[in-house]
Amino acid sequence: MVHLLLAIIYIAFISLGLPDSLLGAAWPVMHEDLGAPLSYAGIISMIIAFGTVVSSLQSDRLTLWLSTGKVTAISVAMTATALFGFSASSEFWMLCLWAIPYGLGAGGVDAALNNYVALHCRSWHMSWLHCMWGVGAATGPYIMGMALEMGKGWPAGYHIIAVMQVVLTIILFASLPLWKERKDEVQADPGHKRKPLSLREIFRIPGAREILVAFFCYSAVEQTCGLWASSFLNLSKGISAEQAASFGAMFFIGITVGRAINGFLAMRMHDESMIRMGQVLILFGIVTVMLPAGDAVALAGLILIGLGCAPIYPCIIHSTPTHFGKDKSQAIIGVQMAAAYIGTMLMPPLFGILANHLSISLLPIYLLVLLAIMAFMHERLIQKTR
C-alpha cells in the first residue's frame, strides 16, 4: 500500500508540472486570437501567483480540517476545472476569471503534497519527485505544440491537459484510504489535535524568518535566471538570439537532470550539505558566466547554475520537519510556498526595470546578491534550530 501511494504521488508531481508552462507556450497564439496585447500574459500569471500565495498561507488550516489526501484531490480538481475553463474561453476576462481557481488549486496541492513527502519520505524521493515535476513542465509545451501543429488550436492543448488532470483527480479520490493509513501522528490522535498557526505565531518560531527569506531568494534566483538568461547572453555576450534561446533552455535541463542525480547523492548526504553544495555550484556558475570567454563557457555557466539550483528547493522543503518539528511543518511549508511565489512575482520584474534603466549586464551581480542573502539566511537558520 505504501509503494502504491508513493507511485500515485510520483504521477501527481508529473501531472502537476504539465499545466505550469502552458501559458508561455500558447500565449503567442492566444493573445492574437483573443485580441489581447502581448504583455497581458503578465496579468494572468500575477492572478495565478496571487491565488497560490493565498492557498499556501491557508494550507495548514485546510490540511488540519480536511487531511492531506482530500486537500490534494480537491486542489487538483480545481486545477482541472480551471483548465477546462481556459480551453472554453473566448475573451481575455474569462482567462482572468479562471486563473483564480487555477492559482488556488495549484498552491493548495503544492504545499500539502510537499509537506506530506517531507514527513513520510526520504530526501531522495523529494529530489526525484521535483525532477518528475520538471518532466511534466517540459512535456506541457510539447503537448500544446502538437495541438497547434495539428490545427486544433490552443484550446485543444488546454483541453488535453485538463482531461489528464481529471484522471489524476479520480485516482486521488480513489486513493484516500491510503492517505488515512499514513496520516501524521499529530493529526491522527484527536487528543493532540492542534489549532492552525497564525502568521504572527509562525514568525515567532526561531528560524522561521530566516528560512522564509532564504526561500524567497532561491525562487528569485531561479526565476530571474530562467527569464533573463537568454536576453543576457544575446544583449551582453553577443550570442545570437536563436543560440541564446537554446542556451537558456539548458538552465532548466540542468535543474531537471540535477534533481535526478541529487536523488542518489541524498542517499549519502544530509539536506544541509546538499543545500550548501547547490549554493557553491550556483556561485561557480555565476562566476563562469561573467568570464570574458566564448559561448561554450557561458553555456557551462548556465548549466552549473541549473545544477546548483536543483537540490536547494527539495532539500529546504524536506528539512523543514527536522528544523521546526512535524507538528509545525505544514504551517511553515505553506508560508515557505507563499514566500517562494512572492519572490517569483517580484524579483524577475524588478531586474527587468534595472536592465531597462541601467544594463542587462548586471544580471550576474543581481544573482550574486540574492545568492549571498540566501546563503547567509540558511546558515542563520541552522544556528537557530540546531
pLDDT for position 31: 84
Could you tell me which of 138, 147, 136, 142 has the C-alpha nearest to residue 109? 136
Cell of 266: 541524498
**CATH, range 202-385:** 1.20.1250.20
Could you tell me which of 305, 283, 252 has the C-alpha nearest to residue 371? 283
Kindly report the number of other CB atoms within 10 A of residue 358's CB atom: 9
202-385 matches 11-177 in CATH topology: yes
N- to C-terminal Cα separation, the chain: 35
Kindly report the number of other CB atoms within 10 A of residue 346's CB atom: 15
Please provide residue 190's backbone torsions phi and psi, each rounded to the nearest 5 degrees.
Answer: -60, -30
Between CA 319 and CA 169 the distance in angstroms is: 28
Q: Which amino acid is at 203?
A: F
Residue ranges in 121-207 assigned as alpha helix (H) = 123-149, 154-174, 176-181, 185-188, 199-204
Between CA 217 and CA 105 the distance in angstroms is: 24
The upper half-sphere exposure of residue 305, i.e. CA atoms within 13 Å in the direction of its Cβ, equals 32
Between CA 267 and CA 190 the distance in angstroms is: 35
CB 280 within 8 A of CB 298: no
CB 138 within 8 A of CB 21: yes
The upper half-sphere exposure of residue 229, i.e. CA atoms within 13 Å in the direction of its Cβ, equals 29
Kindly report the number of other CB atoms within 10 A of residue 264's CB atom: 12
Task: Please name the helix (run of DSSP H) or strand (run of DSSP E) that holds residue 363, with its range, or none.
Answer: helix 363-385
Between CA 323 and CA 326 the distance in angstroms is: 9
Could you tell me which of 110, 118, 116 has the C-alpha nearest to residue 319? 118
pLDDT for position 139: 80
Q: State whether residue 189 is helix, strand or coil.
A: coil
Per-residue pLDDT of the chain in tens (386 residues, 90 and over written 9): 567 888 888 888 887 788 877 777 787 788 888 888 877 877 888 888 888 888 888 877 887 787 888 888 888 899 999 999 999 998 999 999 999 999 888 877 777 777 788 877 777 788 888 788 778 877 887 888 888 888 888 899 999 999 999 998 898 888 888 876 444 444 444 445 567 787 888 888 898 999 999 999 999 998 888 778 877 888 777 877 667 766 766 777 888 888 888 888 888 888 899 999 999 999 999 999 888 877 788 888 888 998 999 899 889 988 888 888 888 888 888 888 889 888 888 888 888 888 888 888 899 999 999 999 999 999 999 998 87
* Residue that has been written with the C-alpha cell 492566444 in this structure: 30
> What is the homologous superfamily of the domain 11-177 according to CATH?
MFS general substrate transporter like domains (1.20.1250.20)
pLDDT for position 2: 60
* Residue that has been written with the C-alpha cell 492543448 in this structure: 157
Cell of 337: 510556498
CB 94 within 8 A of CB 85: yes
Extents of the domains making up the chain: 11-177, 202-385
pTM of the model: 0.80
Q: What secondary structure does DSSP assign to 193-216, as a single string?
A: PPPPPPHHHHHHSTTHHHHHHHHH
pLDDT for position 271: 87
Between CA 320 and CA 26 the distance in angstroms is: 36
Burial of 6 (0-12, 13-18, 19+ CB in 10 A): middle
Cell of 111: 504545499
CA distances from 353 to 145, 238, 363 (A): 31, 21, 12
CB 103 within 8 A of CB 57: no
The Cα angle at residue 178 between residues 177 and 180, in degrees rounded to 5 = 65
